[in-house]
């Protein structure tokens, strides 16, 4: 029966109409995946209306090809700009961006695209072989197991993404605290909203993600005016690309293992995309003899998450198809498309509609391969971005960063959030704090709170901790943290230098940040005591250990600062050195430019404010001619008006000038060109 379904599923795919929409979906997905803030879910939203009158197989060829291709092309921004396209691609940044900075962008892209293709194919193959066993595996992971799996992801990212396990765990606790903002599912009592409507519906992920990761990297390019490839030398892109392809096949067993891990993690609703990159990154780091280059451009740290990200897509479909449980926005849209085309999610998808189910899995696998082939042909041109002068890259990246932040809820609060977390990301990077734990915890926070409360209510306490799978996951967490701590201690003892995430050492920058985090935990915990038990339970579970560990970090930073003062001779020299090392004098004007742009947006609107900002930046900061600045600004204006305005149909922020001048223009004037 299974073999017949496999044959029938391939026959469904290889039809001219289906293949046309499949190729079109791949191209659209590649383009959307390369734009920060877009991602697969937005692509599905854009394409879904066009599938209303299509045959089901052709419709899903378009949707699934687009959805799968975005995870392949998402490596472009992660590698070239150090900007994770989604939360699932955070781990790609750790080694992909350092490779681009040392002039190996083509190699990194070749390796990531190849790993994605292998991951997509292996994920489909794994699902095809294990499909009869999938339902028992999914059903075995109830709320207790989901909670501990989320804690495993947090423990891994907290201990691996940085040079201090304590700082990593405190950063994760801070991310969980941010996730508590808004209305909890258990009661209609707002938490930490400061009486603002914007924060009532929780803190949006995309502005925080882009602020933490994108703005500090963009600021570095603006201050130094260097290309992404710091050497500035053009590499042999064909040679570098082929080296990346060979890297994937030289580490084929690592890629296959991570693909299998990604497939099965993808089956867990709500958790897969958040933790898959970090689980496989940890697996790669802990399974090699020499992990000293991880975080500095080790290609194995790039291959593992990229293979898993694509394998994840096939696994994520299974709970959606078989149980009607979508684990993400993207799978929720796909489930609505299933219902719209007369396919009912449930066990029937593994019996009566098994050929269609198999066709979906093969579509995802083939989309990964086709997208990889297309992208490998374009590496020569894509890699050139790494050689452009910093001042030419900065305005374009900022345009897509801010509009990516705007996509979530079309509120100016998203821009303010993006800049605020950009400032936080700058201090975290300069102070040696890892940033990935904050994002992962922000994603997992609501899931962890819900599964914890369900588990506690069902078992009448903490009895669920004795479940076998839970005990195994606890053991893995403990072992992972111990191994990570030993690895960090070994590096410190040997004097090995690390240039990865959270590796910078500046106690004068870290101490104010650790004090602020300590104050935040104490204030948040004290505030929570006034809430009902079900509302305050999880915030207190975060704030108490967060405050204890935060106090320890404050003590450590204070001790290191006193040691630094003893070596420099005076507080003046110490603070002067810290200010110089952190580029505070250059950072203030950069963030002032961004703040001025937001104020200008309030006055004249985004369609005019952003091009004007870009023109002024290029002339005053970049030193370019007015002709180049005007051409760049007009291009930005066209993207805002026609792509974001007419194609995406975004609602832009109303400006004061628009209200003042409404009566000035004739009725036939297309005011959408300006406001």
The pair of three-digit structure tokens given for residue 330, joined into one six-digit string: 């993207």
Residues 19 and 133 in one domain: yes
Tell me how far apart the alpha carbons of residues 318 and 315 are, in angstroms, rounded to a whole number: 6
Residue 377 belongs to a domain: yes
423-476 pLDDT per residue, tens: 999 888 888 888 878 887 887 888 889 889 888 888 888 888 888 888 988 898
506 against 551, higher pLDDT: 551
Containing 221, the helix (H) or strand (E) segment is helix 205-224
The pair of three-digit structure tokens given for residue 494, joined into one six-digit string: 């040997």
- The pLDDT assigned to 447 comes to 81
Tell me how far apart the alpha carbons of residues 191 and 560 are, in angstroms, rounded to a whole number: 36
Average of per-residue pLDDT values in the chain: 80
**Residue 68 near residue 33, CB atoms below 8 Å:** no
Tell me how far apart the alpha carbons of residues 127 and 361 are, in angstroms, rounded to a whole number: 8
- The pLDDT assigned to 86 comes to 64
Most confident of 9-13, 458-462, 484-488, 625-629: 625-629
- The pLDDT assigned to 235 comes to 55
338-350 pLDDT per residue, tens: 877 777 776 677 6
556 to 276, 485, 506: CA distances (angstroms): 32, 16, 12
Single out the residue of 179, 109, 70, 78 nearest to residue 448, CA to CA: 179
Number of domains within the chain: 2
Tell me how far apart the alpha carbons of residues 655 and 25 are, in angstroms, rounded to a whole number: 36
- The pLDDT assigned to 138 comes to 63
**Residue 408 near residue 207, CB atoms below 8 Å:** yes
> How large is the C-alpha radius of gyration of the chain?
25
Tell me how far apart the alpha carbons of residues 426 and 440 are, in angstroms, rounded to a whole number: 18
321-332 pLDDT per residue, tens: 776 666 566 776
Residue 233 DSSP SS3: coil
Residue 576 belongs to a domain: no
Single out the residue of 124, 94, 445, 441 nearest to residue 282, CA to CA: 94
- The pLDDT assigned to 290 comes to 75
- The pLDDT assigned to 599 comes to 92
Tell me how far apart the alpha carbons of residues 268 and 249 are, in angstroms, rounded to a whole number: 28
Q: What is the DSSP code (8-state) at residue 651?
A: P
Residue 140 belongs to a domain: yes
Strands (DSSP E) contained in 532-586 are none
DSSP character string of 109-150: HHHHHHHHHHHHHHHHHHHHHHHHHHHHHHHH--HHHHHHHH
Residues 165 and 256 in one domain: yes
Tell me how far apart the alpha carbons of residues 623 and 610 are, in angstroms, rounded to a whole number: 18
Tell me how far apart the alpha carbons of residues 497 and 491 are, in angstroms, rounded to a whole number: 8
Of all residues in the chain, the percent with pLDDT exceeding 90 is 13
125 against 615, higher pLDDT: 615
Residue 99 belongs to a domain: yes
Question: What is the reported pTM?
Answer: 0.77
382-400 pLDDT per residue, tens: 766 666 777 888 888 888 8
Strands (DSSP E) contained in 317-367 are none
Single out the residue of 385, 493, 378, 451 nearest to residue 185, CA to CA: 451
pLDDT-derived band at 413 (thresholds 50, 70, 90) equals confident
The owner of tokens 């570095």 is 220
Residues 18 and 151 in one domain: yes
Residues 493 and 601 in one domain: no
Residues 478 and 604 in one domain: no
pLDDT-derived band at 584 (thresholds 50, 70, 90) equals confident
pLDDT-derived band at 150 (thresholds 50, 70, 90) equals confident
Residue 21 belongs to a domain: yes
- The pLDDT assigned to 203 comes to 87
pLDDT-derived band at 667 (thresholds 50, 70, 90) equals low
Examine the fold and report which residue of 505, 535, 569 is the final residue of a domain before the chain moves on. 505
- The pLDDT assigned to 178 comes to 94
Residue 286 belongs to a domain: yes
Tell me how far apart the alpha carbons of residues 629 and 647 are, in angstroms, rounded to a whole number: 25
Tell me how far apart the alpha carbons of residues 91 and 436 are, in angstroms, rounded to a whole number: 8
**Residue 295 near residue 98, CB atoms below 8 Å:** yes
64-78, 111-125, 134-148: segment of lowest average pLDDT: 134-148
Residue 164 belongs to a domain: yes
Residues 265 and 403 in one domain: yes
pLDDT at position 107 over 90: no
The pair of three-digit structure tokens given for residue 591, joined into one six-digit string: 């963030």
Examine the fold and report which residue of 490, 505, 520 is the final residue of a domain before the chain moves on. 505
Strands (DSSP E) contained in 193-352 are none
228-242, 268-282, 376-390, 527-541: segment of lowest average pLDDT: 228-242
Examine the fold and report which residue of 445, 477, 505 is the final residue of a domain before the chain moves on. 505
330 to 68, 215, 224, 335, 360: CA distances (angstroms): 10, 26, 39, 9, 14
Residue 560 belongs to a domain: no
Residues 285 and 389 in one domain: yes
Domain that holds residue 338: 2-505
Residues 451 and 599 in one domain: no
Paired residues of 182 in beta bridges: 191
DSSP character string of 3-18: HHHHHHHHHHH-SHHH
pLDDT at position 367 over 70: yes
């Amino acid at each position: 029966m299974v073999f017949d379904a496999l044959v029938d599923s391939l026959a469904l795919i290889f039809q001219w109409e289906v293949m046309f929409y499949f190729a079109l979906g791949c191209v659209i997905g590649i383009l959307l995946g390369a734009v920060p803030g877009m991602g697969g879910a937005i692509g599905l939203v854009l394409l879904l209306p066009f599938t209303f009158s299509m045959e089901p197989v052709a419709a899903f060829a378009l949707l699934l090809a687009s959805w799968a291709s975005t995870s392949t092309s998402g490596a472009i921004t992660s590698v070239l700009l150090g900007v994770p396209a989604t939360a699932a691609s955070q781990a790609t940044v750790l080694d992909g961006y350092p490779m681009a900075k040392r002039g190996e962008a083509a190699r990194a892209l070749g390796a990531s695209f190849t790993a994605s293709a292998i991951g997509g194919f292996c994920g489909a193959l794994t699902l095809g072989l294990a499909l009869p066993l999938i339902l028992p595996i999914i059903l075995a992971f109830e709320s207790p197991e989901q909670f501990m799996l989320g804690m495993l992801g947090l423990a891994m990212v907290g201990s691996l993404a940085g040079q201090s396990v304590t700082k990593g765990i405190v950063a994760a606790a801070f991310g969980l605290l941010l996730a508590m903002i808004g209305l909890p599912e258990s009661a209609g009592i707002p938490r930490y909203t400061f009486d603002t409507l914007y924060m009532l519906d929780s803190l949006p992920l995309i502005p925080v993600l882009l602020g933490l990761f994108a703005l500090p990297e963009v600021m570095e390019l603006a201050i130094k005016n260097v290309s992404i490839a710091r050497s500035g030398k053009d590499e042999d892109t064909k040679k570098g690309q082929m080296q990346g392809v060979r890297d994937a096949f030289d580490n084929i067993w690592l890629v296959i293992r991570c693909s299998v891990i990604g497939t099965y993690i993808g089956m867990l609703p709500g958790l897969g995309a958040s933790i898959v990159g970090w689980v496989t990154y940890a697996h790669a780091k802990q399974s090699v003899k020499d992990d000293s280059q991880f975080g500095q451009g080790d290609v194995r740290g790039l291959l593992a998450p990229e293979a898993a990200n694509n394998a994840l897509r096939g696994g994520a479909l299974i709970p959606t198809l078989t149980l009607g449980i979508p684990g993400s926005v993207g799978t929720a849209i796909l489930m609505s498309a299933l219902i719209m085309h007369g396919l009912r999610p449930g066990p029937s998808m593994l019996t009566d509609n098994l050929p269609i189910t198999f066709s979906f899995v093969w579509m995802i696998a083939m989309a990964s391969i086709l997208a990889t082939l297309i992208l490998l042909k374009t590496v020569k041109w894509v890699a050139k971005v790494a050689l452009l002068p910093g001042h030419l890259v900065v305005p374009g990246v900022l345009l897509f960063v801010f509009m990516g932040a705007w996509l979530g809820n079309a509120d100016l609060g998203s821009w303010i959030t993006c800049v605020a977390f950009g400032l936080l990301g700058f201090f975290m990077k300069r102070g040696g704090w890892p940033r990935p734990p904050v994002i992962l915890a922000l994603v997992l926070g609501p899931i962890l709170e819900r599964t914890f409360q369900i588990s506690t209510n069902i078992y009448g306490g903490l009895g669920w901790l004795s479940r076998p799978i839970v005990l195994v996951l606890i053991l893995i967490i403990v072992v992972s943290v111990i191994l990570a701590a030993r690895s960090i201690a070994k590096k410190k003892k040997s004097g090995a230098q690390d240039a990865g995430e959270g590796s910078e050492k500046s106690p004068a920058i870290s101490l104010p940040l650790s004090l602020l985090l300590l104050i935040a935990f104490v204030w948040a915990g004290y505030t929570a005591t006034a809430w009902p038990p079900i509302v305050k339970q999880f915030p207190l579970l975060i704030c108490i250990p967060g405050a204890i560990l935060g106090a320890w970090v404050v003590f450590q930073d204070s001790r290191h600062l006193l040691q630094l003062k003893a070596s420099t001779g005076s507080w003046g020299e110490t603070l002067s050195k810290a200010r110089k090392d952190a580029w505070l004098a250059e950072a203030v004007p950069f963030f002032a430019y961004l703040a001025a742009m937001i104020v200008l947006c309030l006055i004249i609107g985004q369609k005019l404010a952003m091009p004007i900002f870009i023109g002024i930046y290029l002339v005053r900061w970049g030193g370019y001619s007015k002709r180049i600045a005007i051409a760049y600004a007009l291009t930005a204006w066209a993207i805002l008006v026609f792509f974001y305005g007419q194609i995406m149909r975004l609602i832009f922020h109303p400006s004061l000038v628009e209200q003042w001048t409404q009566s000035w223009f004739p009725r036939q004037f297309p005011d959408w060109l300006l406001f």
